[in-house]
Amino acid sequence: MRVFTAVNIENEKVLDKLEEMQKELDYGFNKVKPGKMHLTLQFFKNVDRNELEEIKTGLNKIEMEPFKLKIKGVGVFPSKDYVRVVWAGIESEEVFELKNQVSKHSVEEDNDHKFHPHITLSRVKNIARRDKKDFRRKLEKLEDEEIAQTTVKSVKLFKSKHTGKAMVYSVLEEKEL
């Protein structure tokens, strides 16, 4: 089963601001629906029932208070020359502590990248050559843009399942902070 731990973005005003960023940087990209916007902490491709229970147990051991999350700037993965993901950045020291606490189990995550807190706005298959210069100009203008703030009150363990048309997320566990 494919699962991930994440902070779900639920504040409507924040989601509206993130949608504005999506629209400003849209060149026919596959936009993430507001109801699916989140900050992934860990991702696991194939976990069995025992590993799932271990992840849940680790999640429930988190000891943190709710905290403010600043969403600032936009960027891309893997690079400006080869864009596959457009994201909104996260500024918060507490996010790194949360990532540390949620990771206190022995199940190995399926992510070989250094943790870079972000909210995925769009997935990109291709940018038309005629649009690349304009896209980069907009991206540079928004690199340090203060987008919004929200309060992190919980962490969720989601199951993700591909239905052929879209990914469907279901909450398996939630830990209130």
Give the model confidence (pLDDT) of 107-124 as tens digits: 999 877 889 999 999 999
Q: How many CA atoms lie within 13 A of 104 on its CB side?
A: 13
Q: Has 113 been annotated as catalytic?
A: no
- CATH number of residue 81's parent domain: 3.90.1140.10
- The structure's pTM equals 0.93
What pLDDT does 137 receive? 95
Q: What is the pLDDT of residues 115-159, one digit of tens each?
A: 999 999 999 999 999 999 999 999 999 999 999 999 999 999 999
Q: Check pLDDT > 90 for residue 41.
A: yes
Q: Has 105 been annotated as catalytic?
A: no
Number of domains comprising the chain: 1
Long-range contacts of 90-98 (CB under 8 A, 24+ apart): 90/39, 90/117, 90/118, 90/119, 92/67, 92/68, 92/117, 92/152, 94/64, 94/67, 94/68, 94/69, 94/152, 95/7, 95/39, 95/69, 95/152, 97/64, 98/7, 98/41, 98/62, 98/64, 98/152, 98/155
Q: Which domain holds residue 77?
A: 2-176
Task: Catalytic residue, from 105, 113, 118, 162: name it.
Answer: 118
